[in-house]
Amino acid sequence: MRLLGSLALVLVVFLPLKSNAELVIEITQGRDNPTVIAVSPFAWQSPGFPPEDVAQIIQDNLARTGQFAPVARVNMLGTPSREQEIFFRDWRMVNAQYLLIGRLSGTSQIEAEFSLYDVTKQSIVIEGVERAGVADIRALAHRISDRIYTALTGIQGAFATQLLYVAVSPIPGEKDYYELTLADADGARPRVLLTSREPILAPTWSPDATEIAYVSFETSRPAIFRQNLATGAREQLTAFRGVNGSPAWSPDGTRMAMVLSKDGSPDIYVLDLDTYALERITRHYAIDTEPTWMPDGQSLLFTSDRGGRPQIYRYDFVTGLTDRVTFEGSYNARARVAQDGRNVVLVHQQSGDYKIAVFDLVTRRLTALTSTDLDESPSIAPNGSMVLYATKQAGRGILAAVSVDGGARFNLPARDGEVREPAWSPYLTVSPQ
């Protein structure tokens, strides 16, 4: 294998460990006039007890978007699991617009049958079956949530996705303890992928969600690694002198943009992941950093202070030209692009505070989404509906999320320690384990 800046293949299989930094959902704001939906407890049709409350997981997923107001179980006048058990007048009395019912059965393999009803029309909206191993029943609940969300909004759901984040545990008198952690989109089932007494930064996903990349200081200086999630095998991609940072996979998964300072000031480079050929993209005395690809792979955005203060610029691979994108405000950085190629979420300085904002590439309108003052590291859901970011709560690092229209918000603090550097996965090609 060709070496690139002391590139090395590290065939170390990391057994996933349960993280101490499990995230807790705290809904802080919902939209006005949300859709009222009732999720009846799913009937368990096998011996013993169900391994998870699937209906509760679905209900929590829908509530978290702010678009739905689930009916509390204590207010339900019945708990039907089959159509013949439904009395629609009962659900109209609690103002439910939709009703979800379901049944679970199985031992090692769980089968879930579900039906969604329009209460007013007294008709089925969708029905279906989902199956999963007993250890993966939460993923089953997330997939059903996706199907419900898609049916009622017309937007593909993103509940059956995953989050990457860095958990930090301060140890008095010693170096902090860092954990690169993988969890479901609701923060459940956290698994540790890497532990270190040195910082872990900038985790990012491959477009097929089978690999991740990140910056680790475990070699005493920053180095970029890629890691296979199924096998745990790691490959060190760079170890140049100076900055090695901000890895970002191209949409087709064949290239990786990154920031290197090996030739002087930090510039954007692109690494071919098959040949390991390295191409320098920017050549400027200013600091160019934080690349992110446009969905078509024909250009990328990056942060540069070449105009005096950090702003977003675009490099076009076809023309080789670089143009400034943002002009509003004195600070715009850490851009991340929605899959529609139109909305860009970024860190924007407003009245001295750092907030998460969305910038429309068509209208050129920039809108602040958050009201806190130390927000950073935005990551956008694959359906473009929510933005995950890092912030502070009572002086402690937490994750938070806000809808792209600012109508819904929730926090994801860790039960212990701090969390930072979030990265929302693409749609998964395989079910999470």
Distance CA 56, CA 38 (A): 11
pLDDT for 277: 97
Q: Is pLDDT above 70 for 39? A: yes
Q: Which of 98, 125, 153 is the last residue of a domain?
A: 153
* Mean pLDDT across the chain: 92
- Same domain as 390, residue 353: yes
Q: Which of 119, 153, 187 is the last residue of a domain?
A: 153
How confident is the model over 315-340, as pLDDT tens digits?
999 999 999 999 999 999 999 999 99
- Same domain as 345, residue 217: yes
Which CATH number does the domain housing residue 411 bear?
2.120.10.30
What pTM was computed for the model? Answer: 0.91
Which CATH number does the domain housing residue 144 bear?
3.40.50.10070
Q: Which of 153, 182, 207 is the last residue of a domain?
A: 153
Q: Is pLDDT above 90 for 175? A: no
Residue 352 domain-assigned (yes or no): yes
- Same domain as 317, residue 227: yes
Q: Is pLDDT above 50 for 433? A: no
pLDDT for 16: 52
Looking up tokens 């089959």 gives 82
Residue 1 domain-assigned (yes or no): no
Residue 3 domain-assigned (yes or no): no
Let me know how long the chain is.
433
Q: Is pLDDT above 80 for 18? A: no
Q: Is the distance from CB of 29 to CB of 372 less than 8 angstroms?
A: no
Residue 53: domain span: 33-153
- Same domain as 193, residue 291: yes
Q: Which helix (H) or strand (E) holds 56?
A: helix 54-64
**Sorting pLDDT into bands at 50, 70 and 90, what band is 15?**
very low
**Sorting pLDDT into bands at 50, 70 and 90, what band is 122?**
very high
Nearest-Å Rg of the Cα atoms of the chain is 23
- Same domain as 417, residue 324: yes
**Sorting pLDDT into bands at 50, 70 and 90, what band is 280?**
very high
Residue 173 domain-assigned (yes or no): yes
- Same domain as 139, residue 200: no
- Same domain as 211, residue 77: no
Out of 20-34, 63-77, 90-104, 216-230, pick the least confident. Answer: 20-34
Counted domains in the chain:
2
